[in-house]
Chain A
Amino acid sequence: MQTGSVQADAVRRAWRAALSVVVATSAYGLSFGALSIAAGLDLWQTMVLSALMFSGGSQFAFIGVMAAGGGIAGVASAAMLGLRNALYGMSMRRVVAPRGAMIPVAAHVTIDESTAVALAQPEARAQRVGFWVTGVGIWLGWNAATLAGAMLGDLLGDPKQWGLDAAAAAAFVGLLWPRLRARQAIAVAAASAVVAAALLPVLPAGLPVIAAAAIGVVVGLSNWLGPTTTEGP
């Protein structure tokens, strides 16, 4: 009886945590929708990205490269940014234990937020509730907000006049910020930004970012903690 009510309590808390994350995350689907239109994609293309790709970082990366006139580099950036979702899938497989047709559904809603909310819950049932409510809730909210943002973006005209180009840069700052706790991550971020900026005038659109990604891979594999400032150009 007591364990039952403790469990029900944990499940209620999981619902609350999930719903607050759903509201906060869905809201920035608005900025994605508007930025995608500003990047030159049409309404349908924008909606397909949110419905099918459904991974904020990859979506912003893809439209960023498209806006700059890059082609296949946009695909590569989106895919590389999506690699972390495979890692989330490995831990969510144990938490969620989906079967049959539910496996692709679970995989589709496996993103930063659903994984984080699930892992923050104290027991198995609450973890599953956290995962599904966050994942499915964000999918619905994110797509609705994308549609609203895209329609708004259609009305805005010149994106620079509204500072939408700066909003795109700020969106990446927001995705990066929570990952900058350790010194190693901060060093990698600084070096990557410098390298990408230095290569901007030299390489075609999309490639400076991919070149900078090598820094993360090299430091990750070698676990080099020393100053990475020597990585500069």
Chain B
Amino acid sequence: MDFETIHYSEKDGLATITLNRPKAYNAFTKEMNKEITKALKVANKNNDVRCVVFTGEGKAFCSGQDLQDVDENTNHAEFLRERYQPMLKQLKDTTKPVVAAINGTAAGAGMSLALACDFRLMKPDAKFVSAFVGIGLIPDSGMMYHLPRLIGYAKAMEMTVLGRPMTGTEAYAVGLVTEVVEDNEWDEKVNEFTQNLAGMPTKSIALVKRYMMDSMHESYDEFLEKEAYAQRIAGQSKDHHEGVLSFKEKRQPTYTGQ
């Protein structure tokens, strides 16, 4: 695939989206928002892709919106609607697990992107920086939605309002990242984690994604009905049959995501 601001590759069931503007610490431009949205669509359509990974080229994961695109005439609402909402909605509609491999600073909307993923792996000294309130804005790109759901309201207020940077080690302690990975083991461990996900029953993971986040603002009755739908779908999946069969036959299951 030909992209200018990202690098996209598919290998062994993994689609990797590498934010690729290292000189600007991988800051978002209009083009990058678009290309990420497109790459997510491509990955989603391909049945061979079982897991999607975001990472950043160079030192940073993503430094957020490129401020060169913003001036006093910017309509911030239109900006979000046109650039970020399509990307965030596509991310939510992605029916495979999405992992943020946070190799360096994730600031502003770059942090929001990491929060919108299903799992986060992070280097111990990489940093989350909410940044928005520090320049008189509000945390956007879904951050106010995801963050309190991930770590609770009190911690979310601290991170967003006080704007204190949080290292990978600290983020692990509050449950915001799944694994902290040292620099020298980075590629190997990220690959191991994501390959493992790609080999899992990804259809049921997609159903978990579809209903678990929403369960946090739905009534119990509504949720229980959706749970019944999801289990009905999972119960008819090839992976479920394989799971049961392999258990009976006392062997390792081979899942296909179907």
Asked if chains A and B come from one complex, the reply is: no
